[in-house]
Amino acid sequence: MFKSLRLTNFKAWKDTGDIGLAPVTMLLGTNSSGKSSLLQSLLLLKQTVRSPDRTIHLNLGGDEVNDLFSFGDFDSVLRHGADSLRHFSIGFDFKRFDDSRVKAGSLEAIYGKTSTGSVAVQQMKLSTGAREFRAVRRERGAFSIFVDDEGQPRFKGRNYAPERSISFSADAIAELDQDGALVEDLSLSIRRELEGISYLGPLRRKPERDYAWNKSKPGDVGSDGGNAVGALLASALLRSEEQNYIVDGVSKWLKRMKVAEQLEVRQQGRSNRYELIIQRDGVACNLRDVGIGVSQVLPVLVVAYFAPIGSTVILEEPEIHLHPLAQSILAELFVKVSKERNIQFIVETHSEHLFRRMQTLIAKGTAKKRDVSMYFVKRDGAQALLQTLEVDEFGVVGNWPENFFGDSVGEARQQAMARAKRMQERANG
């Protein structure tokens, strides 16, 4: 689980400060305010650690098949108006609940631009407990390796360059001797944390009428939800208790949202092709033939149950094409699945219904205040600003952003005044 995130000079962010990340973290804000950049920083590191090139410092993307985003070049990421150093940084704290040897720690990486135009780590810092290990870039691509608060480097050279932003080189590990094992374990925990991210974007693939199944399950649901049906097919057809849990969970929430009564996987004859059948109002329909809301929320429900236990799910606008009740039920989904499966949800949303239901869950005690973080992102000129929404134990927000969800009281007042005026005009003939 990510415990905090900090960015400097990253896109619209000059300095976010330490952003606390809870089991359920919600990001609200106006369009193009900088919300997505917060999420993209973690996804940038995820696609970097997945890169087949271990010597790469930062994978800015470009591979449409394997990368989550294309970030362009260094100048596209660097905040406009950044100081003369022209550096940006990404850092986070984490805590793991699996069998990792290092259970908690942090990463901070500072990036700059080389004379050839590529992105290079200027400093990488790995920490756990009271231990700290740094790789600092010197002239001509050489790196100095520092341990704890020592003023002088243990060693330096071009063969000590960091790998994929999270690891020391094999030569550096060997030189660190006994500390080398700790650094390796720390990097492995960071790698697992980043690789465990599941991301679902706001633009989801339209459903097909039928699907081929090759008797395997996908690695993830895909950023557009394209593998969600594959995950459901594996769940229904592999017939393990763990897999059936996914279909049962998805069906339960579809019914809770009142968008479907049941989900069924149906084989076409004896072929390897299957269709998803949605039962609603006693009628069975192919997923392709039902309202778009069902097909758009399906990947959201699937990723909640398909993501590995203890991992992080990043969602952009999960409420798209859902009616108000279904949007509000999403809050219940996040809270319940977070508890049951130890899943962390980081959610960007514009939904008042989702937000209000989360307040209600806190007021009822169903969600603990400590388990939910809410932030509002706004723009001040070219710079993004982050406001922590102060929610008390009864779900009341003490510093509500003015008119973000509109002025419902003001609208009601204007309606009443307009109604009275028209009724008076009608009475006067």
Cα–Cα distance for residue pair 210/229, rounded to 1 Å: 10
Residues 6+ apart with CB under 8 A from 397: 359, 374, 389, 390, 391
Structural domain ending residue among the three candidates 305, 337, 365 = 305
Phi, psi of 218 (to 5 degrees): -70, 160
More confident residue, 424 or 186: 186
pLDDT mean over 72-88: 88
Specify the pLDDT at position 423: 83
Beta strands in 195-261 (DSSP E): 198-200, 211-212
Residues 2 and 99 in one domain: yes
Confidence grade of residue 193 (pLDDT, cut at 50, 70, 90): very high
Residues 279 and 388 in one domain: no
With vertex at residue 131, the alpha carbon angle to CA 127 and CA 133, rounded to the nearest 5 degrees, is: 60
Confidence grade of residue 14 (pLDDT, cut at 50, 70, 90): very high
Domain span at residue 216? Answer: 206-305
Specify the pLDDT at position 45: 97
- Whether 201 is covered by a domain: the verdict is no
Q: Rounded to whole angstroms, what are the CA distances from 396 to 21, 169, 324, 350, 361?
A: 19, 49, 21, 18, 11
Query: What is the DSSP pairing of strand 312-316 with strand 344-348?
Result: parallel
Confidence grade of residue 121 (pLDDT, cut at 50, 70, 90): very high
- Whether 404 is covered by a domain: the verdict is yes
Residues 81 and 187 in one domain: yes
**pLDDT above 60 for 330:** yes
Residues 75 and 212 in one domain: no
The overall pTM is greater than 0.75? yes
**pLDDT above 60 for 409:** no
Cα–Cα distance for residue pair 408/406, rounded to 1 Å: 6
**Residue 98: DSSP 8-state:** S
Q: Which of 223, 207, 220 is nearest to 263 (CA)?
A: 207
Answer whether 19's CB lies under 8 Å from 38's CB.
yes
Specify the pLDDT at position 242: 62
Domains: count for the chain: 2
Residues 89 and 218 in one domain: no
Residues 62 and 176 in one domain: yes
Cα–Cα distance for residue pair 250/229, rounded to 1 Å: 11
Q: Where are the alpha helices (DSSP H) in 50-93?
A: 74-77
Specify the pLDDT at position 419: 79
The CATH number of residue 162's host domain is 3.40.50
Residues 174 and 253 in one domain: no
Answer whether 116's CB lies under 8 Å from 129's CB.
no
Q: Quick one: what percent of the chain has pLDDT higher than 70? A: 97
Beta strands in 178-289 (DSSP E): 198-200, 211-212, 262-267, 273-280, 283-286
- Whether 170 is covered by a domain: the verdict is yes
Answer whether 175's CB lies under 8 Å from 163's CB.
no
The DSSP element (H or E) to which 313 belongs, if any, is: strand 312-316
Q: Which of 311, 312, 44, 16 is nearest to 165 (CA)?
A: 44
Confidence grade of residue 413 (pLDDT, cut at 50, 70, 90): low
In this structure, what is the dihedral angle of CA atoms 173, 55, 38, 330, given to the nearest 10 degrees?
A: -90
- Whether 230 is covered by a domain: the verdict is yes
- Whether 211 is covered by a domain: the verdict is yes
Cα–Cα distance for residue pair 109/374, rounded to 1 Å: 26
Specify the pLDDT at position 313: 98
Structural domain ending residue among the three candidates 305, 338, 367 = 305
Residues 56 and 127 in one domain: yes
Specify the pLDDT at position 421: 82
**pLDDT above 80 for 243:** no
pLDDT tens per residue across span 338-397: 999 999 999 999 999 999 999 999 999 999 999 999 999 999 888 999 999 999 999 999
Residues 385 and 243 in one domain: no
Confidence grade of residue 90 (pLDDT, cut at 50, 70, 90): very high
Residues 350 and 250 in one domain: no
More confident residue, 122 or 282: 122
Q: Which of 399, 385, 409, 375 is nearest to 20 (CA)?
A: 375
Residues 332 and 383 in one domain: yes
HEC string of 356-404 equals: HHHHHHHHHCCCCHHHEEEEEEEEECCEEEEEECCECCCCCECCCCCCC
Structural domain ending residue among the three candidates 305, 337, 358 = 305
pLDDT tens per residue across span 207-235: 999 999 988 889 999 999 999 999 999 88
Q: What share of the chain is helix, strand, coil (3-state, %, to 5)?
A: 35, 25, 40
Specify the pLDDT at position 31: 86
**pLDDT above 90 for 325:** yes
pLDDT mean over 167-185: 96
CA 4 to chain centre: 13
Residues 242 and 311 in one domain: no
